[in-house]
Amino acid sequence: MLIRYGTDKNGDFIKKAVIYTQEEHLIPNNKIDPDALQIVNRLRDSGFTAYIVGGAVRDLIIGNTPKDFDIVTDATPSKIKKIFRNSRIIGRRFRLVHVVFGTKIFEVSTFRSICEGSVGNSFGTIDEDVQRRDFTINALYYDPIQKQVIDYVGGMRDIKKHILRPVIPLDHIFIEDPVRMLRAVKYSATTHAQMSFLLRRKIRQSANLLSQVSPSRLTEEMMKIINGGHSFDIIKEAIDLDLFMYLQPAAASMIFDNKKIEKQYMENLKKLDELHKSDPSVRLGKKLYYLIYDFVCTLTDWKKEAQTKSSFSELYAKTWTECRNFVLPMNPQRKELEFAVKSVLSSFGIQVKKKPEKSKKKYPAAKKISSSG
């Protein structure tokens, strides 16, 4: 274990961070995406500092395989763009760079300042950047060249002790960004990190702040839950902490009103997680099936509907509209929700015929008009 020192406002030397060596953190570089390593190396070769940061470092320490590798550097977005031709700058306020390798996208961000709080848009130093991370287990920086983990906030200790501890003070963390409450629930479920009584109480007290969050951000968080393989644990905790009513209000109302439906809904979440484990790449429509199934069951007498000889097209259209409203504010792709609705109806013996493709009108080829000179 090494120590990184710095100076305070008076110029006195103070301990800034603990540095863990490879023998202590046990991160194998062969578990790191080679393209992420290439990005770090090219930034270093260009004279900049660069680290792998956040959830990827946490997962590597725990022993999980990261889904994404985010990189942080002291290079500004314009300089990053010059180094990587296969990149694009995104974001209107705080700009980031996406470096693209085939189908993979790596987010490269510049150290952020705390001069405007934890959601400001100014560039800063690594000492400031760490203070903007949400929880200590996500505030670790990994240097894959020196094979060192830099820990400013006791994140390594919290990972080992399975503790979820905020970096940002509780009085500000959720006011500045309410989505952090959903992330707290997600991290607790996926890493088995325990939330303290004070943190849980603060989340309950702040739950109503989620009503201010845009549907697009809530959709993004719900998609992460559906696609993460821990939907049962996350939603169970979200219900307990009064968050689920803002994430899926119609579903929350349904399960709060009927214990039997709540039990069935939670059982379907277990099936959703089993599906993810058996086939992580399965299409979204098959996952949405488990979210809407219990709701569709309540719409009508499906056994009686299946016995009618009328066209099911109108019935399907009405069911799709009801399901579209049911999943709000989540806004999944239309074709995936259509697939889910048709799959549920099919389980009731109701087959919806595909619409015949419209034949394209053929027009005679236009004659060339020769121009005379």
Give kind and range of the element (H or E) at residue 117: strand 115-118
**Tokens standing for residue 18:** 């603990």
d(C-alpha 136, C-alpha 116), whole Å: 20
User: Using an 8 Å Cβ cutoff, are 112 and 146 in contact?
Assistant: no
Report the chain's terminal Cα–Cα distance, integer Å: 85
Helix (H) / strand (E) containing 193: none
∠ CA 126-59-245 to the nearest 5 degrees? 95
Round to whole Å and give the CA distance between 218 and 127: 30
Active site annotation includes 134:
yes
d(CA 327, CA 226): 13
Of 59, 70, 158, 233, the active-site residue reads 70
Q: Is the distance from CB of 90 to CB of 100 less than 8 angstroms? A: no
Cβ burial 255-279 (10 Å sphere, 16+ → b, else e): beeeeebbeebbebbeebbebbeee
H helices of 97-194, in order, are 126-129, 155-161, 170-176, 179-191
Beta strands 70-73 and 104-110, pairing class: parallel
The dihedral through the CA atoms of 77, 124, 54, 50 has a sign that is positive
Catalytic position from the list 59, 129, 134, 151 = 134
What is the spatial distance between Cα 190 and Cα 348, in angstroms, rounded to a whole number? 34
Strands laid side by side in the 148-151 sheet: 2-7, 13-20, 148-151, 140-143, 50-53, 70-73, 104-110, 96-101, 87-90
One of 33, 68, 127, 242 is an active-site residue; which one? 68
User: What are the φ and ψ backbone dihedral angles of 17, each rounded to 5 degrees?
Assistant: -155, 155
Q: Please list the active-site residues.
A: 68, 70, 134
